[in-house]
Structure formats: structure tokens, C-alpha cells
Amino acid sequence: MTARRFQMRRFTWVLLTIVLLLLVLAILPQVSEIRGQFLVTANIAVALLGLGAGLLVIRHMNYRLAHLAEVARSLEQGDYTARERSWRRMRLASWLES
């Protein structure tokens, strides 16, 4: 088995950026004078952005798992030609390796 370099997906970087923005917004009033109204609005906007991004991840995973279940049913019934639609992005073997 070859060693693979760890890579973060683009969407993971987006979620990490959202968390860092929340951290900066929490520290910002300690270092500078800032209006409370702006701070509350920015915190709510970033939090809603994070929640929306999380919902997109859940929806995407649900779709992929549902299709993987269809492939598993086909394999169970003896149809060994069944494949995952996006086999270039997600292979069954990559799930088994991790």
C-alpha cells in the first residue's frame, strides 16, 4: 500500500475559513473599538453561512450514500456490473481503504 499525502478538500477549507472568521469576530472587540451592532450582524451572518454549508454537506452525503445503497442491492442480487455513477470521485475501494 502506497503512502498518500493528506489533502483537504475545497469544501473543508470553506468550513475551516468560517470557523476562523467566527474566532476573529470573537477576538476583535478585545483589540479594537467596534460597534456592537456590526459585530452581532457579522456573527449571525457567518454562523448562518456555516449552517448553510453544513446542510449542503449533509445533502451531498445523503445522496451519495443512497446511491451506494442501490449499488449494494444490485451487487447482492448478483449484478456485478453495477457501479457508482461518479466512480472517478468516489470508488468503493477508497471507502474500504480508509
Please write down the HEC assignment for all residues of 38-56.
HHHHHHHHHHHHHHHHHHH
pLDDT tens, residue by residue, 2-54: 667 767 777 788 888 888 888 888 888 778 887 878 888 888 888 888 888 88
pLDDT tens, residue by residue, 61-95: 888 888 888 888 888 888 777 765 655 554 444 44
What's the pLDDT at 50? 84
**Count of domains observed in the chain:** 1
Nearest of 5, 31, 75 to residue 23 by alpha carbon: 31
* Domain assignment of residue 43, given as a range: 10-97
Look at residue 30 and tell me if it is in a domain: yes
pTM for the complete prediction? Answer: 0.56
Look at residue 69 and tell me if it is in a domain: yes
Look at residue 4 and tell me if it is in a domain: no
